[in-house]
Amino acid sequence: MPAKSRPAPAVAVLAPDARGKRRAAALLDRLEAAHPEATCALLHRNAYQLVMATILSAQCTDERVNQVTPVLFARYPDARALAEAAAEDVEEIIRSTGFFRAKARSLIGCATGLVARHGGQVPGRMEDLVELPGVGRKTANVVLGHAFGVESGIAVDTHVFRVSQRLGMARAETPEQIEEHLMALLPRARWSRTSDLLIFHGRKVCAARSPRCGGCPVFDLCAFDDRIAIASAGAKR
The reported pLDDT for the residue numbered 234 is 74
Q: Examine the domain organization and report whether 75 and 111 are in the same domain.
A: yes
Instruction: Give whole-number Cα distances, 89 to 52, 71, 104, 114, 152, in Å.
Output: 15, 11, 9, 20, 34
The reported pLDDT for the residue numbered 6 is 46
Instruction: Say how many C-beta atoms besides its own lie within 10 A of residue 84's C-beta.
Output: 12
Active site positions, annotated:
138, 157
Q: Examine the domain organization and report whether 93 and 173 are in the same domain.
A: no
Contacts of 210 (CB under 8 A, 6+ apart): none
Q: Where are the beta strands (DSSP E) in the chain?
A: none
Q: Examine the domain organization and report whether 68 and 98 are in the same domain.
A: yes
Q: Examine the domain organization and report whether 127 and 71 are in the same domain.
A: yes
Domain extent, residue 52, equals: 47-147
Q: Examine the domain organization and report whether 134 and 200 are in the same domain.
A: no
| CATH number, domain with residue 95 | 1.10.340.30
Q: Which helix (H) or strand (E) element contains residue 67?
A: helix 62-75
Q: Examine the domain organization and report whether 185 and 121 are in the same domain.
A: no
Running along the chain, 237 residues long, what does each successive block of 10 average in pLDDT?
Answer: 44 89 97 96 97 96 97 98 98 98 98 98 98 97 97 96 97 96 97 97 96 96 94 76
> 39-45 contacts: CB < 8 A, separation 24 or more?
39/196, 39/200, 40/142, 40/146, 40/196, 41/66, 41/199, 42/66, 42/69, 42/142, 43/69, 44/69, 44/146, 44/147
Among 147, 172, 203, residue at a domain's last position:
147
The reported pLDDT for the residue numbered 1 is 38
